[in-house]
Amino acid sequence: MRKRFVLCIDNKGYEASLIPRKIYEIIPDEQAEQDDFVRVIDESGEDYLYHVSHFAFIELPEKVERVLVAA
């Protein structure tokens, strides 16, 4: 199963937790997604829920995904 990624496009209110233009891997959370939230590991190193409006969903080539997941 391929990983899913988002690009932070707005960190208003979360300046210490999210970095604009940074790619974050989504941690699957079906309940959160039903409520328009995504779970990501933010700059604190912990996973938190953020509204989808802070991100743009992106698809990456498999080679790039492997590099990001291995990092």
pLDDT per residue as tens digits for the range 27-60:
999 999 999 999 999 999 999 999 999 999 999 9
Would the pTM of this model clear 0.85, i.e. be above it? yes
pLDDT in tens, 4-23: 999 999 999 999 999 999 99
* 2 pLDDT more than 80: no
Structural domains in the chain? Answer: 5-70 (2.30.30)
For residue 1, the model assigns a pLDDT of 66
By C-alpha distance, which of 62, 4, 68 is closest to 33? 4
